[in-house]
Amino acid sequence: MASSTRQKISVRAILLDLDGTLVHTAPEIASAANKMLQALAKPRLDPLQIQSFIGDGAQMLIKRCLMEQTHAEPDAAEWAEAQALFLKFYAENAAQSRPYPQVVAGLEAMQKAGYALACVTNKPASFTLPLLQANQLDGYFSVVVSGDTLTKKKPDPAQLLYICEKLHITPEQALLIGDSNTDVQAARQAGCYVFTVPYGYNHGLALNADASIAHIGDALNLLH
């Protein structure tokens, strides 16, 4: 475990990102995106390339897929059709994604240690909640905030501040665990601590995180 944290920190709640942190969702997202492109008579993309688009919400992922060939903003009609197609195809397989190894054990250890747990994601609630339920992860979280719960989402700090308010804690009493610079930026703006895991999507090891941990449960080694 690599760590930039020199001393243990004290928090009351642990907030966890979903895609690339708790659950390996890239295969299902890439499949839906390529079906969308195929329906629009556009070339399919390498699944690893689509994986690199994950982290800023479905709309941004769709736009990046559309712009990959043209490098131009899609027109309004195509943009609307692409969103409808992606949401249709992703609804068919979203709940098939599975947690990363040691995620369930990590959540159980955090819960046993007495921390309040929350899930914070840029994924729309229509996909977030069925995915958590399908993997029996929903019961671990006191609060779940999706990409459309509020008007703003990560990297904006609004979601994190909303969770802190719901849990009756200050931002300094919260730790966010994620896999991207989007997570780090949100935590920094909110005033929360932030750890990253290296196995996720797109941004991997963020330089400005408080620590990098191999698995989410390793966070407990840096808390007191």
Catalytic residue list: 17
Give strand ranges (E) for 29-186.
98-99, 116-120, 143-145, 174-178
Secondary structure letter of residue 95 according to DSSP: G
CB crowding 126-141: b at 16 or more within 10 Å, else e: ebbbebbeebebeebb
Is residue 197 within 8 Å of 214, Cβ to Cβ?
yes
Q: What is the C-alpha to C-alpha distance for residues 208 and 132, in angstroms, rounded to an integer?
A: 29
